[in-house]
Amino acid sequence: MRLAGKVAIVTGAANGMGAATAKLFARESARVVVADIREDGQAVADAINADGGEAIYHQLDVAEETAWELLIAETVARFGRIDILINNAGISGVADPDLTSTETWDRLMAVNGKSVFLGTKHVVPVMRAQGGGAIVNISSISAFTGMDKVHMGYNASKAASHLMSKAAAVHHGRDGIRVNSIHPGLMPAMLGTRTAAHMPKEGRTAIFARIPLGRPGRVDEVAYAALFLASDEASYISGAELTVDGGWQANA
């Protein structure tokens, strides 16, 4: 088991990539905290426990500092340590048709960017005290390039997650804490997202033509990337970015 003896927090774990990651980590023997603002996270924790794993659900607004303080305290009280933090929670840059909305900018930066800072800030003291840990931030290929019909706040927030990963890797490497980022490409929709599945046929064809592998990604493909970076197999990898995009970036 690749995560035996480890405790992992996965944010945004009520659905999609977060749920897939939480379930995979549990299958690899991690004890998992399913953290999400949505109460659907309880069903994910229940499914893990029913499958023989060990998980708890914790309701979390990732943009609120006091909520992070409570999460860290509860996790340590329950499990005694925190080995892995997966900062996965995020919101879409196409949910609001007004791509110049200041309110949407603020929300994107809070949920996609500030949350990564807060999670890192509050988990590092625990990891430092126990001799190390691994943080994996789920960013996006949108961190690398501008995109039409996507709010600029989405690109900015995902770029913030990317660069914070590198900065945190530098700041905390001497504490035995590794920090890396994952950059998914076209994936199943976040909540409230307009996706290729809802586009006219010609639009879908154009998107898939850009992807060398010719298809959208699967959430479990991101989960396996997170598993590698969180595991001891990646013990000399820190400050790196891993694209999970079917070759999209290579075809720029």
59-101 residue pLDDT tens: 999 999 999 999 999 999 999 999 999 999 999 998 888 999 9
**CA–CA gap between residue 34 and residue 153 (Å, rounded):** 26
- Quote the pLDDT of residue 200: 46
- Residues with a catalytic annotation lie at 154
Confidence of residue 197 (pLDDT cuts 50, 70, 90): very low
- Evaluated on CA atoms 86, 87, 92, 96, the torsion sign reads positive
**What residue type is assigned to position 188 of the chain?**
P
* CB contact set of 161 (below 8 Å; sequence gap of 6+): 87, 112, 113, 116, 137, 138, 139, 143, 181
- Quote the pLDDT of residue 159: 98
Q: What is the CATH number of domain 7-243?
A: 3.40.50.720
167 pLDDT more than 50? yes
Mean pLDDT (the chain) is: 93
Confidence of residue 198 (pLDDT cuts 50, 70, 90): very low
Mean pLDDT of 211-233: 97
Torsion of CA 183, 59, 124, 22, to 10 degrees: -50
- Quote the pLDDT of residue 148: 86
Query: The pTM is what?
Result: 0.94
Confidence of residue 199 (pLDDT cuts 50, 70, 90): very low
121 pLDDT more than 80? yes
Contact present, 172 and 124 (Cβ < 8 Å): yes
Question: Residue ranges per domain, the chain?
Answer: 7-243
* CB contact set of 129 (below 8 Å; sequence gap of 6+): none
Instruction: Please tell me the least confidently modeled range out of 154-163, 192-201, 218-227.
Output: 192-201
